[in-house]
Amino acid sequence: MLSAVILDVDGTLADTERDGHRPAFNRAFAELGLDHRWGAQEYGRLLATTGGLQRLEEFLTGAGHPDPAGTAQVLHRAKTAHFLEWVRSGPLLSRPGVDELLADLRGRGVRLGVATTGRRAWVLSLLDRLFGLDGFDVVVTGDDVEQLKPAPDAYLRALAGLGVPAVEVLAVEGSPPGLQAARRAGLSCLVVTNDYTAAQAFAGAAAVLPGFDGLDADRCAALLAGQAPGPR
């Protein structure tokens, strides 16, 4: 029985990485007088590290920066402010088919949750702008857990908030770390790829789809029951 669906945000519910997060990071670099600028392809590689703060610190360490941890903190505060501005007024859209899927799930009485590594300030603004916060029963962000994906913390907290057993819940993710987090929490996981992850491997996924078009509550329930086609 499908009782709930827990979804990731970045690259899953909305294409936020290339034209949202990446320019915000670059603006932060410029403000601090740093010469780094992340191109679209380079940023795709950097996404292997989950969490913007961790991504910055790892990048600065590799670049030989004298104070990677301290500088990453300053950069990340600036980046978050820029990204939040984009979320509130920029050209932000949900991915095609997402609104229809969420409406169908709600209409069938399936509860909805969010498990993301993103910061609560912008996550809540994004969800409210695109979908309305009252449509989600629980929202877990990177501020709410000790360890980010691929650790299972966000999913375990979301499950606790929903009060639903893992066997009745389907996760929807868009990246290998997200898939690993969901599986480590004991969840079946549907992967919906994006431009950055389309060519990546997703062993253990219930299915791997290129988009949300045509996806409905019946297909989600079949995936959870293992009755739908597996990953490509």
Please state the rounded mean pLDDT for residues 60-76: 97
Neighbours of 58 (CB within 10 A): 16
Percentage of the residues of the chain whose pLDDT score is greater than 70:
97
What tens digit of pLDDT does each residue of 180-223 get?
A: 999 999 999 999 999 999 999 999 999 999 999 999 999 999 99
Please state the rounded mean pLDDT for residues 127-142: 97
Residue 230 belongs to some domain of the structure:
no
Answer yes or no: do 123 and 199 share one domain.
Answer: yes
Answer yes or no: do 126 and 40 share one domain.
Answer: no
Rounded Cα distance, 129 and 29, in Å: 27
Rounded Cα distance, 178 and 154, in Å: 10
pLDDT at 231 over 80: no
Question: Would you state the pLDDT for residue 228?
Answer: 52
Of the three residues 62, 89, 116, the one that is the final residue of a domain is: 89
pLDDT at 40 over 50: yes
Instruction: Quote the Cα angle for 11-52-132, to 5°.
Output: 50
Answer yes or no: do 21 and 63 share one domain.
Answer: yes
pLDDT at 229 over 70: no
Read off the pTM.
0.93
CATH number at residue 78: 1.10.150.240
Please state the rounded mean pLDDT for residues 139-155: 97
100 CB-near residues (< 8 Å, 6+ apart): 212, 216
Question: Would you state the pLDDT for residue 230?
Answer: 44
CATH number at residue 175: 3.40.50.1000
Query: Which of 120, 125, 16 lies closest to 25 in space, CA to CA?
Result: 16
Question: Would you state the pLDDT for residue 78?
Answer: 97
For residue 153, indicate whether it is catalytic.
no
Task: Output the DSSP codes for 160-221.
Answer: HHHT--GGGEEEEESSHHHHHHHHHTT-EEEEE--TTTTTS--TT-SEEES--TT--HHHHH
Q: Based on the structure, what is the number of domains in the chain?
A: 2
Residue 69 belongs to some domain of the structure:
yes
Query: Which of 108, 104, 145, 106 lies closest to 123 in space, CA to CA?
Result: 145
For residue 8, indicate whether it is catalytic.
yes
Q: Containing domain of residue 129, as a range?
A: 4-15+93-225
Answer yes or no: do 146 and 196 share one domain.
Answer: yes
Please state the rounded mean pLDDT for residues 102-114: 98
